[in-house]
């Protein structure tokens, strides 16, 4: 069966909002952990780690923060995906065909109203 719009795109449009929410939640948690760590509230935790482990921990948190912020910007919401799908079908040929068809319908209606019956 040949679909006009692949159902997979519609599925992705429906789950993209949930994915984006999870990514934003990950960004908030990573940012909170980074702030708490840098402000020194987690001194007991950091004191137990060696300096190399502390740097590794901070790098991982910063990496998670950067990736999640980037993904939250780049992942479109469901409405944007559906709009992109619709826009992909708006071509000059389609607009011209729709305009010509619309003009033919209007002409047909005026002919019927004026009593001119071509049938």
How much is the average pLDDT of 89-108? 79
Verify that 72 and 52 share a domain, yes or no. Answer: yes
pLDDT in tens, 33-60: 888 877 776 666 666 667 778 788 889 9
Verify that 76 and 22 share a domain, yes or no. Answer: yes
In a domain, 1, yes or no: no
Verify that 17 and 59 share a domain, yes or no. Answer: yes
- The first and second tokens of residue 101, run together, are 């068809």
pLDDT tops 70 at residue 119: no
Of 25, 109, 16, the residue nearest 65 (C-alpha): 25
Verify that 97 and 54 share a domain, yes or no. Answer: no
List the domain range (segments joined by +) for residue 96.
Answer: 91-119
How does DSSP classify residue 69? H
Query: What proportion of the chain, given as a percentage, has pLDDT over 70?
Result: 87
Verify that 80 and 118 share a domain, yes or no. Answer: no
Verify that 82 and 96 share a domain, yes or no. Answer: no
In this prediction, residue 93 has a pLDDT band, given cuts at 50, 70 and 90, of: confident
- Name all contacts of 109-117 with Cβ < 8 Å and 24+ positions apart: none
Cβ proximity of 90 and 22 under 8 Å: no
How does DSSP classify residue 76? P
């Amino acid at each position: 069966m040949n679909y006009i719009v692949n159902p997979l795109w519609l599925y992705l449009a429906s789950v993209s909002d949930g994915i984006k929410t999870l990514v934003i939640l990950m960004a908030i948690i990573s940012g909170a952990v980074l702030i708490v760590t840098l402000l020194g509230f987690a001194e007991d935790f950091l004191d137990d780690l060696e300096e190399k482990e502390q740097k590794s921990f901070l790098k991982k948190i910063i990496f998670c923060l950067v990736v999640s912020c980037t993904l939250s910007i780049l992942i479109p919401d469901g409405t944007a995906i559906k709009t992109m799908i619709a826009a992909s079908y708006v071509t000059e040929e389609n607009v011209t065909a729709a305009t010509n068809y619309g003009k033919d319908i209007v002409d047909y209606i005026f002919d019927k109203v004026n009593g001119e019956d071509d049938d």
